[in-house]
Amino acid sequence: MTPEILIPGQTTLAQLEHLWRSEAPARLHPSARPGIEAAAAMIAAAANGTEPVYGVNTGFGKLASIKIASQDTATLQRNLILSHCCGVGEPMPRATARLMMALKLLSLGRGASGVRWDIIALLEGMLEKGVTPVIPAQGSVGASGDLAPLAHMAAAMMGHGDAEHEGKVKAAAQALADAGLSPVELGAKEGLALINGTQFSTAYALAGLFDGWRAALSALVTSALTTDAIMGSTAPLQPEIHSLRGQPGQIDAAASLRALLEGSVIRESHREGDSRVQDPYCIRCQPQVTGAAMDVMRQAARTLEIEANAATDNPLVLTEVGMIVSGGNFHAEPVGFAADMIAMALSEIGAIAQRRVALMVDPVLSFDLPAFLTPKPGLNSGFMIAEVTTAALMSENKHMAHPTVIDSTPTSANQEDHVSMAAHGARRLGRMVANLNVILGVEALCAAQGIEFRAPLPTSAPLLRTIARLRAEVPALGDDRYMAHDLASAAQLIGGGDLVAAAQVAMPRLLA
């Protein structure tokens, strides 16, 4: 597979999403090398000097006042990494771990970390040869860097711990050997450069963003299906309404919904003589809600694109002014805020989608659809409990959407006395997206069933293509049957973006 060439400071979200989804290798652009080597030379000089420089010839954290002899530099870095390998829990998904490694390449590539090119070459080699450290997902509080998870990555580079290679988990030293790579002995500051940083939190946040945006686009398709299923009005999609407010996501969502519903005979059939004056908010306010969620995700995306390209370890080597300076770029507060924003957006997309499901299964509100969308209500329960499942998942997502960045606890003997909690704030996004995909999958199943009850009136061409794609996996529901597989298949179609692709309608972009 052709490597993705990364230019530090200029790498885009589209490149990172490609890396994550394809697990392609990554390499730094050659233009990054002079800056990296200049910073490494400054660190080498500092390591041999008499002035204390944090993390180069001193201890760490609360132990920063202890001076370390130059002959102990390698031992200092080795001890740092092994002592920080305190992660617990399930391992990171391989694709997300590889994205984290690519993000670390980008950070080191800014030429402010002081690592030798050997470190860059090993990370690139591991990505190329498919050596992925096994990294426990719990243990970071998202300040002073994602210390524990990044330490597990660094340990694998040293030949300690475990790594996945060729589909098997092996001792890291063996995995490196099998891939034709050699473990590295860390030099001055290199261990600190590898574990200080926000790459673990940022990788998880990006993964949640990429799949969350895909879910948001799928929600536009499923909500259009629902609008026709309950014979809803398209008047609230009138473009002038949305231009008068001016919110970009709302404008984009309304435009997509108009395109999805264009040409629906079902819609045309009730323009006159419809006793209903207004639809419920879950139909009428779709652009305002889903569009607002899209705008929030776009704001988070801008933050994460900047963070992906940032130098976030400590201290930083400022070659232009000849200084090595301690700062706080390792603090993951921006990532924590971004993850919370994405979580709230996912929760709201699911909340309004769940109300649309409830609308369709209720014969009082669904405009003459049979109860629970079954041809024989009473004998059959139809989508009764599928709707209950969406309510359960909606509630679960609401709980998970509670902000994590507002929490903090002092660590490291009060030296690190405010932390971001970005790591688990970002990790929860995967669970939230999985829940949302099920909610939207159930909505698609219900809406397709509802539209089919409107026969012989057809829906629009884009929505007919969407229903055909759904029906290729899940047949219409007649008599009651085992439903779990249907829900799983529909959720998979949502998660894969299949229904969006089937509609063949231009959709909003995450970032221009």
Catalytic residue IDs: 54
- Give yes or no for a contact between 189 and 76, defined as CB atoms under 8 angstroms apart: no
The partner residues of 165 in beta bridges, in order of sequence, read 168
Structure tokens at 428: 């929860």
Cβ atoms of 142 and 150 closer than 8 Å: no
Phi, psi angle pair for 207, to nearest 5°: -60, -45
- The answer to whether 181 touches 157, Cβ cutoff 8 Å, is no
Give the separation between CA 125 and CA 127, rounded to whole angstroms.
Answer: 5
Q: Tell me how far apart the alpha carbons of residues 489 and 493 are, in angstroms, rounded to a whole number.
A: 6
3-state secondary structure of 377: strand
Burial of 66 (0-12, 13-18, 19+ CB in 10 A): exposed
Measure the N-to-C terminal CA separation of the chain; round to a whole number of Å: 27
Residue 219 CA to residue 352 CA, distance in Å, equals 10
Site of tokens 């829940």: 435
Q: Are 324 and 318 in contact (CB under 8 A)?
A: yes
| 3-class secondary-structure state, position 138 | strand
Q: What does each C-alpha distance from 433 to 166, 335, 390, 407, 428 come to in angstroms?
A: 29, 18, 13, 23, 9
Of the candidates 338, 357, 370, the one whose C-alpha atom is nearest the C-alpha of residue 219 is: 357
Q: How far apart are CA 136 and CA 93, in angstroms?
A: 10
Gap between the Cα atoms of 483 and 156, Å rounded = 44
Q: How does DSSP classify residue 512?
A: -
Enter the DSSP assignment of 2.
P
Classify 252 as helix, strand or coil.
helix
Q: Which two tokens stand for residue 68?
A: 């370390």
At 231, the amino acid letter reads M
